[in-house]
Amino acid sequence: TQEQAAYRTNQSANLFERAQKVIPGGVNSPVRAFRGVGGTPLFFNHGEGAWITDEDGNRYIDYIGAWGPLILGHRDPGVIAALEAQLKNGLGYGASTEGEVVIAETICKLVPSIEKVRLVTSGTEATMSAIRVARGYTKRDKVLKFEGCYHGHVDGLLVKAGSGALTLGEPDSSGVPKSYTDQTFVLPYNDTDALKALFQKHGDEIACAIVEPVAGNMNLVPPRPEFLATLREVCTQSGSVLIFDEVMTGFRTALGGAQSIYGITPDLTTLGKVIGGGLPIGAFGGKAEIMDCIAPLGSVYQAGTLAGSPLGVAAGQAMLDAIQKPGFYESLTERTEQLTRGLQAAADKAGIPFTTNQVGGMFGCFFTEQKDIHRFDQVMSCDAERFKQYFHLMLQNQVNLAPSAFEAGFVSAAHGDNEIELTIAAAHKAFAAL
Ligand code: PMP
């Protein structure tokens, strides 16, 4: 609750200057570069509970949470203790451990559609591997993805929609061969008619459809009730594998993931973020019949030197133990609602056109006259200039939001009444200054 003197970011600016000489763009992942919001990217050196501290000593209430993993807040004592215990026994053995069995059992118990699961080291690897096994299982090549959903930097998924509703995608990054994205159909999110039309024409070519069951990479866009149900239906009819990419939503929107909220059972699920407790872990799993196509049982090759790293597994298991406590998600959801209600009231008071979306511990804020944001084009038409100003005003008032109008926000169990009230007070100031 400290009052800050003049807000300074000199140390971050110095580090960014050094970084740009030795790291492309000064960052190891593009969104960190503040391209969408302008100004100097911040460099952080400490996190504790809901708060993080930058190199200039500024403290912020953090709504990034390492982009989702830190559902218990920074330096959760249980996660730290589990890591310390594992450190005493070594960093890794390149062989199997009991911890891997226990975390796999936990994942299968918490997400019943997952009968078998394999650990990898990032979300990208999880989606890439899930798609490979879906192709191996179906002996088909084509993949369907949805506009505005992100599944990591997998070649064939860095695709933007081509012209016309039923065309194949085009590369959305240089370095991706057109022949890869020729294998990918792209449809608008939440558009049930387009979905039916595509499957009618091409259903028997489609190996899998991959979707964020709650889209968290175009700000936050929940699915329309009929969208996921129709997707399940057309996949079943065509013998296509349905993959829910729950890298972001898994153990974040609900204990059983978004699939438990909407009551739709995918064939495969990808996980990441929360399951690693903040360390690099991803996972993919689902029907045993599909998963058993993977080597060494089957002919689909997939492997990893660091897969199932004991440290990642220890942190992840501590996290999964903590989030199973009764009332955890009710309380996280209520906190998040408290935040979005407060932000809306602050915007209304200042006469700023604004709306929010929220599912479990995830939220999205939109500077727009529109209500009920459920399409990519609605997200893209929001006032990005206003978001930029809001973002910087919030930073100056000790609130760290994602530096992009197209990212979701994350609340952790460490965000208490005090943090939510301070955030809403900061928003009142920010909205008044817009
Ligand atoms: N899928 C989804 C839904 C994601 O949000 C992300 C990353 N934000 C990924 C996959 C890729 O994960 P990673 O960055 O760990 O490779």
> Tell me, what's the pLDDT at 160?
82
Which domain CATH number covers 229? Answer: 3.40.640.10
Cα(349) to centroid(ligand 1), Å: 36
* One domain, residues 238 and 270: yes
Least Cα distance to 247 among 392, 416, 382, 122 occurs for 122
Ligand 1 atom nearest to 149, measured from its CA? 3
Domain count, the chain: 2
From 51-65, 152-166, 330-344, the region with the lowest mean pLDDT: 152-166
Mean pLDDT along residues 295-309: 97
Q: For the whole prediction, is pTM greater than 0.95?
A: yes
Domain assignment present for residue 5? The answer is: no
> Does the pLDDT of residue 167 top 70, yes or no?
no
* One domain, residues 249 and 352: no
Domain assignment present for residue 28? The answer is: yes
213, 244 contact by CB (below 8 A) = yes
* One domain, residues 160 and 300: yes
> Tell me, what's the pLDDT at 170?
83
d(CA 243, CA 223): 15
**Mean pLDDT, the chain, integer:** 95
Q: Which of 295, 323, 351 is the last residue of a domain?
A: 323
Domain assignment present for residue 2? The answer is: no
DSSP 24: G
Mean pLDDT along residues 75-99: 97
Structure tokens at 286: 């689902």
pLDDT tens by residue, 360-391: 999 999 999 999 999 999 999 999 999 999 99
d(CA 335, CA 351): 24
* One domain, residues 224 and 367: no
Mean pLDDT along residues 86-98: 97
The helix (run of H) or strand (run of E) holding residue 45 is: strand 44-48
Domain assignment present for residue 347? The answer is: yes
Mean pLDDT along residues 26-33: 93
Domain assignment present for residue 3? The answer is: no
> Tell me, what's the pLDDT at 162?
66
Confidence category of residue 210, pLDDT binned at 50, 70, 90: very high
* One domain, residues 311 and 426: no
User: Chain-centre distance of CA 183, in angstroms?
Assistant: 24
122, 68 contact by CB (below 8 A) = no
52, 414 contact by CB (below 8 A) = no
Domain assignment present for residue 223? The answer is: yes
Q: Which of 259, 292, 323 is the last residue of a domain?
A: 323
- The residue whose CA is least distant from atom 10 of ligand 1 is 151
Amino acid at 428: H
pLDDT tens by residue, 57-75: 999 999 999 999 999 999 9
DSSP 389: H
* One domain, residues 210 and 279: yes
Q: Which of 293, 323, 353 is the last residue of a domain?
A: 323
* One domain, residues 108 and 70: no
Which domain CATH number covers 14? Answer: 3.90.1150.10
d(CA 224, CA 227): 5
Cα(68) to centroid(ligand 1), Å: 10
Domain assignment present for residue 1? The answer is: no
Residues 6+ apart with CB under 8 A from 17: none
Confidence category of residue 295, pLDDT binned at 50, 70, 90: very high
Say which of 60, 150, 262, 390 is annotated catalytic: 150
Cα(186) to centroid(ligand 1), Å: 18
- The parent domain of residue 393 ranges over 10-75+326-433
Confidence category of residue 166, pLDDT binned at 50, 70, 90: low
Q: Is 120 helix (H, G, I), strand (E, B) or coil?
A: strand
d(CA 178, CA 180): 5
pLDDT tens by residue, 353-362: 999 999 999 9
174, 158 contact by CB (below 8 A) = no
* One domain, residues 100 and 182: yes
Say which of 191, 245, 267, 383 is annotated catalytic: 245
> Does the pLDDT of residue 4 top 90, yes or no?
no
> Does the pLDDT of residue 21 top 70, yes or no?
yes
Top mutation candidate among 64, 70, 150 for ligand 1, by most atoms within 8 Å of CB = 150
